[in-house]
């Protein structure tokens, strides 16, 4: 019997513990390419979230009908359909945004985060859990893109979501809006995340050890069994 | 055998449903997309020809060319859409030209993928405003690192000389083609 995870955890794991960008490093091509500004990051994140949500919902609904031999082909066709819908709607209703995101919307089809979630999660779980997972992963993806885009926009062009936040005396660092800036920023963010995670893990270990020293072995085992 | 049939059935039905859905969406989106593009071109034409009130496309000339008409129903000049190679890809621009093609009213860069922060300055002031009332005879020239002295000269952007020169070259190309067309009587 598979251990059931709480619904809240199902959502939250994508936001932090398994964040697709910061922890799994999936879908980095659009992540690095479009994040020259926070608004681009937000739009890309929302577009990917929509596709992920729709694809997860549909695929987990029909997961028992799809023969395992053709599952990848089915996933790709379904994902491609939703991506094309997003692309057409954006072109029709938000031409400016569509121009800014250019060729990266069609490329969501091959975003490995989306296919990865279908293969690893949606095709094995009920629709309810699949949409929670999709929303969590999408939120994690969008947050990571906004952070990356925000940092690059503030340092690279003095603005945040189009509003000037740095004084005119601050000379923008061009490198931040060039591709190299994406790698530098992402590297530094990943480093910071790892430092934080390591420290948290170490503190947890230390508190368990301290607890053990206080209560002794038998009691600790008992406590763990109760949990 | 059953497996094979099931595989075929599932994939085919997914394909048919997807195709049908996309056909419906595309039916809805296509006119909107075309309208957006038309609105974008129209806005650009009137920005480079501020006196213009209406316009009509001149067909069969091999490039995009519009005749602009002003409030008093007189010819106000032309709007020329032309492209060429920039520093890292195609630059597409629109230029407003006077009736006799002797000077430019304004230009606007429509599409470019130049280096952010350097080459992209070709889309901004003060570079674009140098083209206001710029003479085109015998051709547009550029100068590097000094104020322009001649009425047909512009100053290149520091750090983006290639992109600046590309804009001048595209304009010269387009205008010379237009002049040739006029001399052969294709403009009437």
Asked if B21 has any chain A CB less than 8 Å from its own CB, the reply is: yes
Upstream peptide bond of B126 is cis (omega within 30 degrees of 0): yes
In a domain, B119, yes or no: yes
Number of Cβ within a 10 Å radius of residue B144: 11
Identify from B19, B25, B28 which residue to disrupt to test chain A contact, counting A C-beta atoms within 10 A and taking the largest count: B25
pLDDT tens-digit series, residues A67-111: 888 889 999 999 999 999 998 998 898 888 887 777 778 888 878
Q: Do A95 and B40 touch (CB under 8 A)?
A: yes
CA distance B159 to B86: 14
Nearest CA in chain A to B19: A81
Mean pLDDT of A143-148: 92
CA distance B53 to B174: 24
Total tally of structural domains belonging to chain B: 1
In the structure, what pLDDT confidence band is assigned to residue A158 with cuts at 50, 70 and 90? Answer: confident
In a domain, B15, yes or no: no
Nearest CA in chain A to B23: A85
Contact (CB, 8 A) for A111 and A32: no
Contact (CB, 8 A) for A86 and A47: yes
Three-class SS string for chain B? CHHHHHHHHHHHHHHHHHHHHHHHHHHHHHHHHHHHHHHHHHHHHHHHCCCEEEEEECCCCCCEEEEEEECCCCEEEEEEEEEEECCCCEEEEEEEECCCCCEEEEEEEEECCCCCCCHHHHHCCCCHHHHCCEECCCCCEEECCCCCCCCCEEECCCCCHHHHHHHHHHHHHHHHHHHHHHHCCCCC
pLDDT at residue B188 in the model = 61
Q: Are strands B141-143 and B153-155 parallel, antiparallel or unpaired?
A: parallel
% chain A with pLDDT above 70: 98
pLDDT at residue A227 in the model = 65
Q: Give, as one character, the DSSP assignment of residue A163.
A: E
Q: Name every residue whose Cβ is closer than 8 Å to that of residue A9 and which is 6 or more positions away in sequence.
A: none
Provide the b/e sequence for B81-116 (b: ≥16 CB within 10 Å).
Answer: bbbbebbeeebbbbbbbbeebebbbbbbbbebebbb
Mean pLDDT of B76-97: 87
pLDDT tens-digit series, residues A182-192: 999 999 999 99
pLDDT at residue A3 tops 60: no
A50: closest CA among A142, A129, A174?
Answer: A142
Largest CA distance in chain A: 67
CA distance B80 to B171: 9
ipTM: 0.72
Q: Which residues of A touch B33 (CB under 8 A)?
A: 88, 91-92, 95
In a domain, B142, yes or no: yes
Q: Across all residues in chain B, what is the average pLDDT?
A: 85
In a domain, B123, yes or no: yes
Q: Across all residues in chain A, what is the average pLDDT?
A: 86
Lowest mean pLDDT among A3-17, A37-51, A202-216, B171-185: A3-17
Number of Cβ within a 10 Å radius of residue A97: 17
Which residue in the set A69, A70, A178 is minimally distant from B116, CB to CB? A178
B167: closest CA among B90, B99, B96, B101?
Answer: B90
pLDDT at residue B174 tops 80: yes
Identify from A63, A64, A78, A85 which residue to disrupt to test chain B contact, counting B C-beta atoms within 10 A and taking the largest count: A85
Structural domain for B116, as ranges: 48-183
Predicted model pTM: 0.76
A227 or A123, which is more confident: A123
Asked if A181 has any chain B CB less than 8 Å from its own CB, the reply is: no
Nearest CA in chain B to A98: B33
Provide the b/e sequence for A170-198 (b: ≥16 CB within 10 Å).
Answer: eebbbbbbbeebbebbbeebeeebeeeee
The domain limits of chain A are: 8-202
CA distance A147 to A153: 10
pLDDT at residue B111 in the model = 83
> What φ, ψ does residue B139 adopt, rounded to 5°?
-160, 165
A87's tokens: 């692309």
In a domain, B19, yes or no: no
In a domain, B106, yes or no: yes
B159: closest CA among B111, B114, B129?
Answer: B114
CA A90 and chain centroid, separation: 21
Contact (CB, 8 A) for A109 and A83: yes
Q: Do B118 and A36 touch (CB under 8 A)?
A: no
pLDDT tens-digit series, residues B115-167: 776 788 888 888 888 888 888 888 888 888 788 888 888 888 888 889 999 99
CA distance B136 to B77: 14
In a domain, B13, yes or no: no
Q: Give, as one character, the DSSP assignment of residue A159.
A: E
A149: closest CA among A172, A171, A180, A182?
Answer: A182
Identify from A40, A70, A93 which residue to disrupt to test chain B contact, counting B C-beta atoms within 10 A and taking the largest count: A70
pLDDT tens-digit series, residues B108-120: 888 888 877 678 8
CA distance A141 to A26: 9
pLDDT at residue A1 tops 50: no
pLDDT tens-digit series, residues B40-83: 888 888 888 888 778 888 877 778 888 888 877 778 888 888 88
Asked if B33 has any chain A CB less than 8 Å from its own CB, the reply is: yes
Which residue in the set B18, B29, B117 is minimally distant from A88, CB to CB? B29
């Amino acid at each position: 019997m598979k251990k059931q995870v709480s619904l809240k955890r199902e959502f939250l794991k994508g936001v932090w513990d398994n964040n697709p960008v910061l922890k799994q490093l999936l879908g980095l091509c659009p992540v690095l390419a479009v994040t020259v500004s926070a608004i681009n990051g937000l739009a890309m994140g929302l577009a990917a979230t929509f596709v992920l949500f729709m694809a997860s919902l549909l695929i987990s609904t029909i997961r028992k009908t799809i023969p395992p031999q053709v599952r990848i082909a089915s996933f790709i066709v379904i994902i491609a359909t939703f991506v094309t819908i997003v692309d057409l709607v954006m072109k029709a209703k938000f031409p400016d945004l569509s121009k800014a995101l250019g060729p990266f919307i069609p490329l969501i089809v091959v975003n490995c985060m989306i296919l990865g979630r279908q293969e690893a999660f949606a095709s094995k779980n009920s629709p309810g859990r699949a949409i929670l997972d999709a929303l969590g992963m999408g939120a994690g993806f969008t947050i990571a893109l906004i952070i990356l885009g925000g940092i690059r926009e503030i340092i690279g062009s003095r603005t945040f979501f189009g509003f000037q936040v740095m004084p005119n005396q601050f000379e923008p660092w061009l490198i931040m809006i060039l591709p190299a800036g994406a790698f530098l920023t992402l590297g530094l963010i990943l480093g910071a995340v790892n430092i934080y995670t390591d420290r948290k893990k170490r503190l947890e270990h230390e508190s368990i050890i301290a607890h053990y020293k206080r209560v002794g072995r038998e009691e600790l085992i008992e406590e763990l069994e109760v949990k | 055998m059953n497996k094979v049939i099931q595989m075929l059935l599932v994939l085919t039905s997914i394909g048919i449903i997807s195709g049908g859905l996309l056909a419906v969406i595309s039916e809805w989106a296509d006119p909107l997309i075309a309208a957006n593009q038309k609105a974008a071109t129209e806005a650009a034409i009137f920005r480079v020809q501020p006196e213009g009130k209406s316009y009509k496309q001149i067909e069969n000339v091999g490039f995009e060319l519009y005749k602009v008409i002003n409030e008093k129903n007189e010819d106000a000049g032309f709007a020329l859409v032309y492209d060429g190679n920039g520093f890292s890809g195609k630059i597409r621009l629109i230029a407003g030209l006077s009736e006799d093609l002797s000077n430019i009213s304004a230009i606007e860069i429509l599409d470019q993928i130049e280096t952010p922060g350097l080459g992209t300055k070709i889309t901004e002031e003060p570079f674009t405003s140098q083209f206001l009332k710029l003479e085109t005879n015998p051709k547009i020239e550029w100068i590097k690192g000094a104020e322009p002295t001649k009425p047909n000269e512009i100053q290149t952007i520091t750090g983006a000389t290639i992109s600046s020169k590309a804009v001048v070259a595209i304009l010269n190309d387009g205008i010379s083609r237009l002049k040739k067309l006029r001399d052969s009587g294709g403009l009437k």
